[in-house]
């Protein structure tokens, strides 16, 4: 069956790549039919996959130089067939032009958060659970993001050896899933817990924020609040617009806790709409992961037979002319009788039917940056109890617990679940199964417009 997609992974400082030839977008789809002739050819500048009259050519010379022979003269790769359908193997590299690799990797910068509060419209903030008014109607004339991406508000407003930064009633600061306002804006709509740290809704007792320092400022959780503006006084809106998993991870990794030169930790927390608490434990490799992917468009393009992939002599593809010559130059002796089949006294044999023309398709690769990580998700009270020791240990060691919205958690888990199958196939691990052990996955950074285009494409497929 034809290839659907090619995925190649390279971890910085390694001298090999992992290659996955997806012959079905579903990694666990059963074999629909095997080709009678399949062949994999590797050269210094590319990979060629043949089956029947299809030939796929994957050029990687813009990214890597592949080693085709080791010191013993053997081809340095092992072929592995995954579930009888998709092929995964590793290739040693002879040279890694890191500058060229970086230049051909899609660059994704930190984007702006879509905040629905603006300095031109009066608004009020309400509890997202019971609609109780937490901050009365007012206008914020100065709206600014916390200076350093997801810098802890505590460090900005209550920095050591510096005077605290007290926001005025007209100032609004924001970051990923939180707002920081003056404590003077809080009224009878909130109460505090014992110790005067946590801010709760006075009606339903849902936590809506916390105090920074000695009442320097109030940090409010955006996912626990709803926005009402004078333009739409009867409509409760989300405070922030949607943020892609890529933009989430770019911000969150700034707050990761380093545990070694190569690994950092993230502890994420969310509250489901029904009140269920959920934790996500992440251990991220800090060395960048490069992912090369072919385009999802697999429309057949007939290529000119003269357009050849420049392979090395010992691994080059035979041209159609070379195959015809090799057939006619082979022995013409009948293996059963020993007679010469080309004897003039015998009638000439009927010409065999011409072989179907070979279709050659070039698969172009695009480079994406990302990270390799292991994650553990606790979604129920039972799982939270099982992982309580991990939570305590991480917090004692300095890991910061970061609250994200439930929709953010859903988006992250969707991406992790999708990429962990690819990660398992590339690294030749067992298929992922549900367990309480950390699971391996990848985070792949892609521009927002490509993320939404892919979601739209999948939505059309599901219809």
Domain annotation covers residue 138: yes
Domain annotation covers residue 88: no
pLDDT at 330: 33
As given in the structure block, the two tokens for residue 252 are: 């969150």
Among the ranges 226-230, 353-357, 398-402, which has the highest mean pLDDT value?
226-230
Q: What is the mean pLDDT of residues 63-79?
A: 71
Residues 158 and 215 in one domain: yes
Residues 209 and 252 in one domain: no
Domain annotation covers residue 33: no
Q: Per-residue pLDDT tens for 123-163?
A: 999 999 999 999 999 999 999 998 665 556 777 788 777 78
pLDDT class of 350 with cuts at 50, 70, 90: low
Q: 434-458: buried (b, 16+ CB within 10 Å) or exposed (e) per residue?
A: eeeeebbbbbbbbbeeebeeeeeee
Residues 180 and 278 in one domain: no
Residues 127 and 220 in one domain: yes
The chain-wide mean pLDDT, for the chain, equals 81
- Burial (CB count within 10 angstroms: exposed 0-12, middle 13-18, buried 19+), residue 373: buried
Residue 83: pLDDT over 70: no
pLDDT at 213: 85
CB atoms under 10 Å from CB of 112, counted, come to: 8
As given in the structure block, the two tokens for residue 242 are: 């949607």
As given in the structure block, the two tokens for residue 248 are: 């989430």
Residue 283: pLDDT over 60: yes
pLDDT class of 343 with cuts at 50, 70, 90: very low
Residue 318: pLDDT over 70: no
Last residue of a domain, one of 180, 197, 229: 229
As given in the structure block, the two tokens for residue 347 are: 């009638």
pLDDT at 279: 97
**Residue 200: strand pairing partners:** 191, 207
Residues 184 and 277 in one domain: no
Residues 273 and 195 in one domain: no
**Rounded-to-integer distance, Cα 284 and Cα 40, Å:** 34
Instruction: Give how many domains the chain has, as a whole number.
Output: 2
Domain annotation covers residue 68: no
Domain annotation covers residue 420: yes
Domain annotation covers residue 457: yes
Residues 277 and 394 in one domain: yes
Choose among 304, 326, 2: nearest CA to 318.
Answer: 326
Q: Per-residue pLDDT tens for 398-431?
A: 888 999 999 999 999 999 998 998 999 898 888 7
Domain annotation covers residue 237: no
pLDDT at 139: 95
Greater model confidence, 173 or 346: 173
% of the chain with per-residue pLDDT over 90: 46
% of the chain with per-residue pLDDT over 70: 78
Residues 271 and 221 in one domain: no
**Structural domain that includes position 450:** 245-287+370-462
Residues 224 and 251 in one domain: no
pLDDT class of 74 with cuts at 50, 70, 90: low
pLDDT class of 364 with cuts at 50, 70, 90: confident
pLDDT class of 342 with cuts at 50, 70, 90: very low
Q: What is the mean pLDDT of residues 426-454?
A: 88
The end-to-end CA distance of the chain, in Å, is: 25
Residues 211 and 251 in one domain: no
Residues 173 and 217 in one domain: yes
Domain annotation covers residue 401: yes
pLDDT class of 223 with cuts at 50, 70, 90: very high
Residues 225 and 260 in one domain: no
Last residue of a domain, one of 182, 200, 229: 229
* CATH number reported for the structural domain that contains residue 140 in this entry: 2.170.150
Q: Per-residue pLDDT tens for 366-410?
A: 999 999 999 999 999 999 999 999 999 999 998 889 999 999 999
- What's the Cα-to-Cα distance from 443 to each of 17, 355, 413, rounded to whole Å? 17, 45, 11
């Amino acid at each position: 069956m034809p290839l659907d997609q090619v995925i190649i992974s390279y971890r910085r400082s390694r001298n090999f790549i992992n290659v996955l030839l997806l012959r079905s977008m579903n990694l666990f789809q059963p074999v629909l039919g095997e080709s009678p002739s399949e062949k994999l050819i590797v050269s210094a500048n590319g990979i060629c996959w043949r089956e029947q009259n299809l030939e796929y050519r994957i050029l990687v010379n813009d990214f890597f130089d592949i080693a085709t022979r080791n010191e013993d003269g053997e081809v340095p790769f092992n072929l592995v067939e995954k579930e009888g359908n998709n092929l995964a193997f590793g290739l040693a590299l002879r040279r890694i032009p890191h500058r060229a690799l970086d230049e051909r990797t899609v660059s994704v910068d930190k984007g702006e958060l879509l905040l629905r509060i603006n300095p031109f419209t009066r608004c009020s903030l309400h509890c997202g659970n019971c609609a109780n008014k937490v901050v009365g109607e007012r206008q914020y004339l100065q709206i600014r993001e916390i200076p350093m991406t997801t810098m802890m508000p505590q460090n900005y407003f209550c920095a050591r050896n510096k005077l605290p930064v007290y926001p005025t009633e007209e100032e609004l600061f924001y970051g990923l899933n939180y707002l920081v306002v003056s404590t003077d804006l809080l009224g009878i709509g909130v109460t505090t817990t014992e110790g005067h740290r946590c801010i709760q809704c006075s009606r339903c007792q849902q936590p809506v924020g916390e105090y920074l320092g000695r009442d320097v400022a109030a940090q409010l959780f955006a996912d626990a609040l709803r926005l009402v503006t004078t333009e739409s006084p009867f409509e409760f809106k989300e405070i922030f617009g949607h943020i892609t998993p890529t933009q989430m991870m770019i911000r969150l990794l700034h707050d990761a806790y380093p545990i070694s030169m190569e690994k950092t930790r993230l502890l994420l927390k969310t509250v489901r709409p029904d009140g269920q608490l959920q934790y996500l434990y992440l251990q991220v490799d800090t060395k960048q992961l490069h992912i090369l992917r072919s385009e999802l468009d697999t429309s057949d393009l007939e290529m000119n037979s003269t357009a050849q992939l420049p392979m090395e002599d010992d691994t080059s593809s035979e041209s159609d002319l070379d195959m015809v010559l090799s057939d006619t130059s082979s022995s013409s002796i009948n293996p059963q009788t020993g007679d010469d089949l080309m004897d003039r006294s015998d009638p000439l044999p009927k010409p065999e039917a011409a072989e179907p023309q070979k279709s050659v398709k070039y698969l172009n690769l695009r480079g994406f940056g990302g990270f390799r990580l292991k994650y553990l998700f606790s979604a129920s009270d039972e799982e939270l109890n099982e992982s309580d020791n991990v939570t305590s240990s991480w917090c004692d060691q300095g890991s910061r617990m970061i609250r994200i919205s439930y929709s953010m958690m859903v988006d992250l888990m969707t991406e992790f679940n999708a990429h962990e199958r690819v990660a398992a196939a590339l690294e030749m691990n067992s298929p992922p199964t549900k367990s309480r052990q950390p699971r391996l996955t990848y985070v792949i950074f892609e521009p927002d417009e490509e993320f939404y285009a892919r979601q739209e494409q999948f939505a059309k497929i599901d219809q």
